[in-house]
Amino acid sequence: MNTRIFALLLLALLAGCNGGTPSGEASHAHDGHGEHAEAEETPRGPHGGRLLADGPFVVELAIYETGVPPEFRAWITQDGRPVDPAQASIQVELGRLGGVKDTIQFAPQGDFLQGNREVYEPHSFDVRVTATHGGQTHTWEYASYEGRTEIPAEVANAAGIETAIAGPGTLDETLNLYGAIVPDATRVREVRARFPGVVQTVSKRVGEAVRAGETLASVESNESLRVYPITAPIAGVITSRHAEPGEQTSDQALFEIADFSRVWAELKVFPRDRARLKVGQPARIVAEGSQPANGTVSYVAPAGERNAQSITARVVLDNSSGEWTVGQFVEGVITVSRTPVSLAVPLAAIQKFRDFDVVFAQVDDTYEVRMLELGRRDAERAEVLGGLDPGTRYFSRNSYLIKADIEKSGASHDH
């Protein structure tokens, strides 16, 4: 199915499934994130935080992250007048997707109360706030989600959504080389007459396939005057012919036969890369019009040819299907080193969300962003240093569809 049509169909299905807010669910806007419409409806205080009121007692709760890691800060008023932070206490409990719960205690800091731990990304949770002042306890609960969407299992299955489990991986360092297909020199034979004489008949032409032992020509010996056959030493294709009836033979080659069921990809290597190549390294040979083939480096020349600016590396390819043609230009991707890492994800799974590289974690029918700290990468994978726990199931293919559905809801990061 066309990718664009597939995406539109999926988004249409998601719109039908997620068209409304679940009954009884609190506003998604909160002290830092939420949907634009809900952010406008949520009361905000002078510090940009969410206002939580219980009669004349009001807490303004905000996530502050200017010049510091994200942290909760709270300002309290009673009957419109500031409350001394030392005369009150606050606790915030965050329930995250997957059952993780964070409890944050607060301590006085100037004119506000400051949370005692970082509020790590994503800022997406169910919130319970408990405040105590003057012998009275006040409690609020609300949902504050970002980068989250729900996709029913039947929709996900119909859309062909694919997931994977976060775990170890291997990063490959590769070297791209260029060259051409040449015959396997061990499968090329020159055919000569056993005894000098006169060519009587020639039965094969250039380009014809021959079997081992098949007659190619006949020669009358100058000494015995007997006619003897010239036969093919191997099966293959006639690549050159230097014999015509009536010609005198001596020690020159009359035919050349090549067996193209196996060929070589000969690649040019600049001297600066010579030390990185070793026999046995994995190689992938790519050419326009041919299916990529996997092999290994079988030979690296110790030195370049005279006046050459490069040396030769060789990869042996099976060509029993006739896929490769002598003279065909090819690219060789050589894996020169492999580095195991404790956690890696495919590059295809990574999307941009706000200023972060993210993947989308799955818990039941819910998908939510996981902000990644990335390390090294190769052409297919990236090392994950933080933001994703091993064992997490995440969206591994077509992740842009999840991103599109989340952006459709207007998620923002509004501090």
Between 183 and 408, the more confident residue is: 183
- pLDDT-based confidence at residue 6 (cuts at 50, 70, 90): very low
- Residue 158 and residue 209 in one domain: no
Structure confidence by residue, pLDDT tens digits, 327-372: 999 999 999 999 999 999 999 899 998 889 999 999 998 999 999 9
Mean pLDDT over all residues of the chain?
A: 88
Q: What is the domain extent for residue 396?
A: 150-172+341-412
Residue 10 lies in a domain: no
Contact 204, 184 (CB under 8 A): no
User: By mean pLDDT, which of 74-83, 146-155, 208-217, 348-357 is the weakest?
Assistant: 146-155
CATH number of domain containing 206: 2.40.50.100
Q: Which pLDDT band, with edges at 50, 70 and 90, does 41 fall under?
A: confident
Same-domain status, 178 and 313: yes
Question: Can you state the angle between helices 3-17 and 400-408, rounded to 10 degrees?
Answer: 40
Q: For residue 113, what is the domain's CATH number?
A: 2.60.40.3340
Are the C-beta atoms of residues 226 and 250 closer than 8 Å to each other?
no
Burial status of residue 385 (CB atoms within 10 A of its CB: 0-12, 13-18, 19 or more) = middle
**Chain center to CA of 119:** 29
Assess if residue 7 is contained within a domain.
no
Separation between Cα atoms, residue 58 and residue 402, nearest integer Å: 37
Instruction: Report the distance separating Cα 117 and Cα 106, nearest Å.
Output: 9
pLDDT per residue as tens digits for the range 378-395 = 989 999 999 999 999 998
pLDDT at 168 over 80: yes
* pTM for the predicted model, two decimal places: 0.68
Torsion sign over Cα 306, 309, 311, 313: negative
More confident residue, 361 or 396: 361
* CA 213 to the chain's CA centroid: 52
Last residue of a domain, one of 227, 255, 283: 255
What are the pLDDT digits (tens) for 234-284?
Answer: 999 999 999 999 999 988 999 999 999 999 999 999 988 999 999 999 999
Q: What pLDDT is recorded for position 26?
A: 31
Residue 20 has pLDDT above 60, yes or no: no
Q: What is the pLDDT of residue 10?
A: 52
pLDDT of residue 153: 81
pLDDT tens digits for range 190-210: 999 999 999 999 999 999 999
Flag whether pLDDT at 24 surpasses 90: no
Q: What is the CATH number of the domain that holds 268?
A: 2.40.30.170
Each residue of 78-129: pLDDT tens digit? 999 999 999 999 999 999 998 999 999 999 999 999 999 999 999 999 999 9
Q: Which residues contact 67 (CB under 8 A, 6 or more apart)?
A: none
Q: In terms of pLDDT, which residue wins out, 315 or 272?
A: 315
Is residue 63 scored above 80 in pLDDT? yes
Higher pLDDT, residue 25 or 315: 315
Q: Are residues 64 and 142 in the same domain?
A: yes
Q: Give the largest Cα separation in the chain, rounded.
A: 129
pLDDT at position 154: 83
- Looking up residue 397, the CATH number of its domain turns out to be 2.40.420.20
Give the confidence band of 170 by pLDDT, cuts at 50, 70, 90.
very high
pLDDT score at 409: 62
- pLDDT > 90 in the chain, percent: 74
Nearest to 255 by CA among 218, 304, 295: 218
Q: Report the domain count for the chain.
A: 4
Is residue 196 located within the same domain as residue 277? no
